[in-house]
A and B are shown apart, each in its own frame.
Chain A
């Protein structure tokens, strides 16, 4: 039983950063931006979260710095893609590499280390024990005692669903992606909507990054986002942006990750680390088969 609980908790922990980044990605997806900078935003967020937590001895400042770090990348993205109208793809790839360079450079400059920075002075984000629920025999260990960011991610799913489908902003957001000229002629600047969507994406990726470096583990390593931004992009494409679908897909990826850890007893760790990426390929494969069938019906 304890193994099962451990597996489920591992799955939730692995799913959280992907879920948060993918929620950010879904906002830009609806706004019609080909945003591939989630990887860079997450990485920058992870670094600055450690920076804030280490120097101010507070995880709250850590999260704040993490969010600001991700917003920094989002702002550069906005400057280049919306303001200067540079190709979004080029901007995204450039920014991802910029984030890798920036974080390794600052790691070297500020902490004087190469590769990884870990220190007892980094304050991790606490786990939240919910009274009453934590006393339920099995479920209590899953529903309660998770990292704060996990609960934020859950709230974010509901919030983003509401925002996209039930508010005026959401309508405009979808209009910006569906037909931006129409939105512009009706007197709403589609660029402004895109600006907002990218800022929100930055905030969500900031949370994802903070979770990576202050929740999942308490350290920063070079390039620690390790393709999670790309996986979250795949998740967005798989479910065509539906937030609830994204939550499900993220859990699936989390499960693949947890499964990888579980398999480590019988397989070399290099193969188990591959599992999430192989799972992404399989998910894309199933998606394309289903799409083919649908098209055949029409």
Chain B
């Protein structure tokens, strides 16, 4: 655990150092820029609650990707499931009106249904026709993108707007706010604990984890791989759909063109950099949200374009993942050397390449 933390921190620091070098080359002051970045997202309660609010979709789509990747299915459909969840939420919010204590759970539920419906399509294509979910979910992302674009341009569009968007959903469906603190964070935390519990403390979660690590072993042990596949796909779709619904209910309260373009792929990145760990996803989601929220402040204060953060995020992912792999390789190498010493074989007589190859197999 400690070792893990060290690798992650070192990776993030190296990535940020690379970012600083880029800034220096372009003539910006890195210290000032990073100061503005973190100041804008963390300095006071107001900005921190904004950061928390923005972290919700990142963490939820990240959890969706983490659970999927750790259990086997390569569900890359978070962007599409996010959009379908959001549009379901908007449809519910436009045509149904209930008192808030019923309306909010109702909207959350149908956004989850929307996401699960979209991932369910991919799951069924896999189940009946053995079509790889890795490509079908990607194609479904594109289709969802155009489908929602169509929906907000024609059937659901707001007549007075000059660009495609839907009218506001009913006021009863807005997530309550305490000051600037949005209660969508509470929903996210609840979901996080539920997912953590399912994944780490139930039989189903155990089966998912085992299937993700070694599906053959799981199958021989009596795990029903296909049933689990379906439930994981539906659950992760629901998570991404929930993220979409919460963005609608806590943010613009309507579907605007381009909604979610920035969130859902980030979820996949967060899952990768977190090595599909549930808690790590929460932390990295928060960190990415700090970067993204702060990037606006950075642009306002220091004139460094906010797009730099997109580059920085990708660099963090690559550096941390590479660092983790390299670190494990080093540990394996040291362990091998120690073993050789115990057996009294001098390391220099060992073919170095053979060790390398053994290590990579581990």
- Chain A residues engaging chain B, CB cutoff 8 angstroms: 76, 80, 84-87, 89-91, 93-95, 97-98, 100-102, 104-105, 107-109, 226-227, 230, 233-234, 237, 268, 270-271, 273-274, 277-278, 280-281, 284-285, 288-289, 291-292
Contacts and interface: CB of A to CB of B under 8 A. Distances in A.
Best-buried of A80, A98, A226, A289 by chain B (most CB within 10 Å): A98
Interface residues of B, number: 43
Contact of B311 (A93, A101, A230): A101
A106 B322 CA distance: 25
B310 A86 contact: no
A229 B329 CA distance: 32
B136 A274 contact: no
Q: What is the predominant secondary structure among interface residues of chain A facing chain B?
A: helix
Contact of B305 (A91, A109, A226, A234): A109
A281 B329 CA distance: 39
A137 to B, nearest CB: 38
Given A109-B305, A292-B130, A90 B272 contact: yes
A97 to B, nearest CB: 5
10 contacts: A86-B322, A87-B325, A89-B74, A104-B307, A104-B310, A105-B305, A109-B305, A271-B150, A277-B142, A280-B139
B149 A285 contact: no
A97 B314 contact: yes
B16 interface: no
Nearest to B126: A288
Nearest to B265: A97
B314 A98 contact: yes
B98 interface: no
Best-buried of B136, B154, B309 by chain A (most CB within 10 Å): B136
A284 B134 CA distance: 12
Closest 6 CB pairs of A and B: A101-B310, A98-B314, A270-B150, A101-B311, A105-B307, A277-B142
A109 B26 contact: yes
Nearest to A104: B307
Nearest to B122: A281
Given A87-B321, A227-B142, A108 B314 contact: no
Contacts of B310: 97, 100-101, 104-105
B307 A94 contact: no
Nearest to A83: B322
Best-buried of A105, A268, A289 by chain B (most CB within 10 Å): A105
Contact of B318 (A94, A281, A284, A292): A94
B154 A108 contact: no
A97 B313 contact: yes
B83 interface: no
B269 A97 contact: yes
B125 A285 contact: yes
A284 B154 contact: no
Contacts of A109: 26, 305
Given A227-B142, A271-B150, A234 B135 contact: yes
Given A268-B154, A274-B143, A285-B125, A86 B138 contact: no
Contacts of B136: 281, 284
Contact of A284 (B135, B312, B360): B135
Contacts of B322: 80, 84, 86
Interface string B45-61: 00000000000000000
B172 interface: no
A111 to B, nearest CB: 12
A278 B272 contact: no
Contacts of A100: 310
A80 B311 CA distance: 16
Interface in B255-313: 265, 268-269, 272, 305, 307-313
Given A108-B305, A108-B307, A109-B26, A93 B139 contact: no
Contacts of B142: 226-227, 274, 277
B164 to A, nearest CB: 10
Given A80-B318, A284-B132, 9 more contacts: A85-B329, A94-B314, A98-B314, A101-B309, A268-B154, A271-B146, A274-B146, A281-B139, A292-B129
Given A274-B146, A288-B131, A94 B317 contact: yes
Contacts of A277: 139, 142-143
Contacts of B329: 85
A108 B268 CA distance: 25
Contacts of B129: 285, 288-289, 292
B147 interface: yes
Contact of A94 (B139, B146, B272): B272
Contacts of A87: 321, 325
A278 B153 CA distance: 21
B249 to A, nearest CB: 25
Interface in B3-18: none
A285 B141 CA distance: 17
Nearest to A84: B322
Interface in B137-178: 138-143, 146-147, 149-150, 153-154
Interface string B325-336: 110010000000
Nearest to A97: B314
B195 interface: no
